[in-house]
Structure 1
Amino acid sequence: MFCQVPVLAVVVPLAAAVLAVLLRSLVRRGRLSVPRAAVAVVLCIYAAGVVANTVFPIYLDKPVSSAPWTSSVVVVPWTPYEVADAVMNILVFVPLGFLMPLVVARVTWWRAAAAAAVVSLGIEVTQVVTAHLLGGGHVADVHDLLFNVVGGALGYVAFVALSRVRAARALVIRFRWYDDAPERADAARPEPVRGYM
């Protein structure tokens, strides 16, 4: 039996450290409030859950795999792939797309998709390394990356749809980490009248 790195002993302190950094950032910007702190807590719990389920298990004493690195990688798209895996990968990244516009100013759907792609690529690369060097049990799959991007974009679309509901708009503003008043002012500013010569 190999010695497995305890998941909670890694992800809980990591999440706590990230939470401290996020809260300090809000304090320094004069933006700390209970709703924004709640977003920081949700973001850290979400990130910890993703790391725990995509990177672990990790073993301390499992022999390094002698198989080629490509044995734990699927790079050809549209090969056989379970529908349940596709749905799971979409659902796992919906919160990322939803939380981004609360934390970052001026997010668009393609920026949300790009962020999901970067995070997903980081996970897949980590899975390759841990599978080869630390006896991890995950396979890096291009399908995971593609469906993660879809999930991130759908999360952003869900956020936009919710923020357009009048009853939810004020609530969204309370949870946002930045003031969107300049954006509203720009939208309300009339177009300059151009005279004729």
Structure 2
Amino acid sequence: MSQQPPPSHARRNASLVLLLAYIGVVAAMTLSPTPLDQGFESTIDKFLSVLHRNGVPEWFGYNKLEFTANILMFVPLGFLVGLALPARIWWIAVLVSPALSIAIELTQAGLLTARFATMSDVFANTIGGLFGTLLAMILRAIVNARDEKVIARALWQQQEQQRQGAFPATRAR
């Protein structure tokens, strides 16, 4: 019979520390008074030109780049929340990304005059968060399966040692 491995406090603690640092970075990026791309238009255009010269279709322009960046920005959120939460309440990680994204967009709309809120940002952020959560759940399943095998092998070895101790091998003379 397989035994469940104990929860990893090191994983949870490291995830929480990284999550807090990550949320601080996201807050600084999304709640700054001016948009991050302001003043970098020519750099963004050059970056898109390089992408287009290297096979990225022309329809992939600024809006698609921003949407993709929003997805990528929230992958770590879903991943870290998925690792930080206990397995029995992993589903809360699915709710965190849209909730944080909506909070950011409402703050931008209500308090930051140079920023504007969009539903496409909420959608992109949610996709990224869900993808990150999925990655965390896959990683947890892989680690859990490995841990169960290690425990099962250790129990088997312990049983073998006990069995051999109860019936010591006789020596031929």
Pairwise same-fold verdict (TM > 0.5): yes
Partner of 1:158: 135
- Write the mapping of 1:112-127 to structure 2, written as runs, cut at 5 A: 112-127=93-108
* 1:81 and 1:143 in contact (8 A); partners too: no
Distance in 2 of aligned mates of 1:161 and 1:35? 15
User: Among residues 6, 12, 26, which one is paired with 1:50 in the alignment?
Assistant: 26
1:34 Cα shift? Answer: 5.2
Identical-pair percentage:
32
Q: Deviations over 1:118-150 (max 9, x none)?
A: 110000010012224xxxx32101100001110
Residue 128, structure 1, aligned to residue 109, structure 2: yes
User: Among residues 95, 110, 121, which one is paired with 1:144 in the alignment?
Assistant: 121
Residue 107, structure 1, aligned to residue 83, structure 2: no
Higher normalized contact order (CA 8 Å, seq sep 6+, divided by chain length)? 2
More helix by share: 2
Distance in 2 of aligned mates of 1:150 and 1:56? 23
Distance in 2 of aligned mates of 1:101 and 1:168? 17
* 1:94 and 1:155 in contact (8 A); partners too: yes
* 1:163 and 1:169 in contact (8 A); partners too: no
Structure 1 pair 161/85, CA: closer, same or farther in 2 (3 Å)? same
Distance in 2 of aligned mates of 1:32 and 1:157? 19
Which of the two has higher C-alpha Rg? Answer: 2
* 1:98 and 1:152 in contact (8 A); partners too: yes
Structure 1 pair 101/83, CA: closer, same or farther in 2 (3 Å)? same
Partner of 2:77: 96
Distance in 2 of aligned mates of 1:36 and 1:150? 23
The TM-score normalised by the length of structure 2 is 0.56
Distance in 2 of aligned mates of 1:168 and 1:41? 25
Structure 1 pair 166/50, CA: closer, same or farther in 2 (3 Å)? closer
Question: RMSD in angstroms over aligned alpha carbons?
Answer: 2.8
Distance in 1 of aligned mates of 2:122 and 2:27? 15
Aligned length: 113
User: Among residues 77, 86, 104, which one is paired with 2:67 in the alignment?
Assistant: 86
Distance in 2 of aligned mates of 1:85 and 1:53? 13
